[in-house]
Structure 1
Amino acid sequence: MPIYSFKRLGRARFIGFAILLSGCASQGTAPPPPPLQAVSLFQGDVVVAGPAGYCIDRDSVKQGADGSFVLLASCESLSGKRGKNVPPAVMTVSVLPQDHAEAQPKPAELAGSLTSVEAVEGNDLSLVYLSSGGNDFMPEGDPKYWRGGMVLNGYTIGLAVYGFAGSAASGEAGRQLITGLAARLRGASPVRIAAVAE
């Protein structure tokens, strides 16, 4: 499934941002613009907002006919200003164009060819905890990371949480972050009533 490759949208931007987070960015540049608290996609059908203490990297937001991509990290790391103390993590949200999807992705679809350590199929969110691949996307990242899949207003949404090697975000804290991210998307997005077929 294309949404779960996580390579389609913004991989180069993601890697560049991960390098910034790992301290490899140049010093002495102008302060970055304030990070976004939320961003509206697909004419407001999907609103992305992060769990408390996490903001959106405004330069990461990509919207197009083939889908949208958003990257989140701690507000403190994005703004350079002291803020809420949260586990260092990078989260991504990928949204496919509306296809009036009703069934959320299964954990096996989320995992693809990768090996899952844990798989959960909830009522409104499927999760997999993968044993490898996280460090392919994030320099100094832990190989283990979380993926999630859900349906919101007819859009299929892929989520991911990456942490640095051995960090809390690459374990149980990552699970809490990805479920919190899904809850924030549901809470921030409007409730669209599907048209009843006649």
Structure 2
Amino acid sequence: MVLLFRRMCLAFGVLTLCACQMTLPTLSALKHTKNAPSVTFSHSGIVLRGPDGYCVDTQSLRDEATTGFALMANCDALKGRTLSADDAPLAVLTASISAPVSSPAVADPDVLAAFFSTDSGRAALARSGQSSDVTLIDSYARGDAYYIHALDRSPNPMGAFSHEYWRAVALIKGRIVTLTVMPFTAYPLSGAQMKRQITYFTEDVLQANLDDRSVIVSE
């Protein structure tokens, strides 16, 4: 179990570093960028596809042998149309991919539940890397994914995003894939709306990796 937790710390440490080093754009910056309804990461073969209304900001893609990252946002915003609070959806979705894992046991719901109850687990959920900045509101297993509802009080260098988010963790093609729904502070979503979006997002990604419906745009 100790060895398994070390593997968990390594996998989620890499994902946290990858996400924190990204300069995520605000809604006003998500304009005139290339976008696609889905993408395939060339190194892992993992397909990323979001719910209706979302497209991949292809300029955000990071596709390397050991990690992957991509951001999804409202398709119209990526095309340059100015959005309002009446438009939906108004959250940013992110996907982080780990290096290949040595054992599928790292994605076992019981292992994940135990991991995220530790300081190391909560630190992996924090932008700051400090476990004290995160409160775990809810978590549960459903289907092939483990869902986490958290409040991250870390300083938010981007300023545009809510401290509250939903995240899902799943094992896809031998890698840990972490999916996150982050609402904008200017366009807050209710807990139910966030939960619905992370559920749809996760189910779409899992389904996308069962077939070949994808557009390869990474290099």
Q: Equivalent residue of 1:97, what SS?
A: strand
Number of corresponding residues: 182
Which amino acid in the other structure matches residue 77 of structure 2?
S
Asked whether the 8 Å contact 1:149–1:156 carries over to 2, the reply is yes
Seen in structure 2, the aligned counterparts of structure 1 residues 108 and 146 have a Cα distance that, compared at 3 Å, is farther
Which residue number in structure 2 is paired with residue 94 of structure 1?
Answer: 96
Q: How far apart are 1:10 and its partner, in Å?
A: 4.9
Where does 1:93-112 land on structure 2 (aligned, <5 Å)?
Answer: 93-99=95-101, 101-103=103-105, 104=107, 106-110=112-116, 112=122
Unpaired runs of at least 5, structure 2: 1-8, 123-130, 212-219
Query: Does residue 129 of the first structure (1) align with residue 139 of the second (2)?
Result: no
Where does 1:121-160 land on structure 2 (aligned, <5 Å)?
Answer: 121-133=141-153, 136=156, 138-160=158-180
Q: Equivalent residue of 1:165, what SS?
A: coil
Q: How far apart are 1:85 and its partner, in Å?
A: 4.0
- Pairwise CA RMSD of aligned residues? 2.9
C-alpha distance in 1, partners of 2:193/2:94?
A: 16
Report the more deviating stretch, 50-59 or 159-168: 159-168
1:8 to 8, 14, 17: 17
Report the more deviating stretch, 57-66 or 81-90: 81-90
Where does 1:57-72 land on structure 2 (aligned, <5 Å)?
Answer: 57-72=57-72
C-alpha distance in 1, partners of 2:206/2:93?
A: 16
Which amino acid in the other structure matches residue 65 of structure 2?
A
Q: Alpha-carbon deviations, 1:146-174, whole Å to 9, x = none?
A: 12101112211111111123745362211
C-alpha distance in 2, partners of 1:144/1:175?
A: 11
Asked whether the 8 Å contact 1:49–1:185 carries over to 2, the reply is yes
Which residue number in structure 2 is paired with residue 78 of structure 1?
Answer: 78
C-alpha distance in 1, partners of 2:33/2:141?
A: 38
Q: How far apart are 1:4 and its partner, in Å?
A: 3.7
C-alpha distance in 2, partners of 1:163/1:52?
A: 16
C-alpha distance in 1, partners of 2:50/2:157?
A: 20
Report the more deviating stretch, 78-87 or 111-120: 78-87
Q: Equivalent residue of 1:185, what SS?
A: helix
Seen in structure 2, the aligned counterparts of structure 1 residues 75 and 108 have a Cα distance that, compared at 3 Å, is farther
C-alpha distance in 1, partners of 2:138/2:198?
A: 14
Report the more deviating stretch, 115-124 or 49-58: 115-124
2:139 to 93, 111, 119: 119
Q: Alpha-carbon deviations, 1:48-86, whole Å to 9, x = none?
A: 011100011111000112210011111111112489942
Q: By percentage of residues, which structure has more helix?
A: 2
Q: By percentage of residues, which structure has more strand?
A: 2
Seen in structure 2, the aligned counterparts of structure 1 residues 3 and 56 have a Cα distance that, compared at 3 Å, is farther
1:181 to 174, 179, 201: 201
- TM-score, normalised relative to structure 1: 0.77
Q: How far apart are 1:117 and its partner, in Å?
A: 1.0
Q: Equivalent residue of 1:174, what SS?
A: helix
Unpaired runs of at least 5, structure 1: 26-30, 192-198
Which residue number in structure 2 is paired with residue 28 of structure 1?
Answer: none
Which residue number in structure 1 is paired with residue 6 of structure 2?
Answer: none
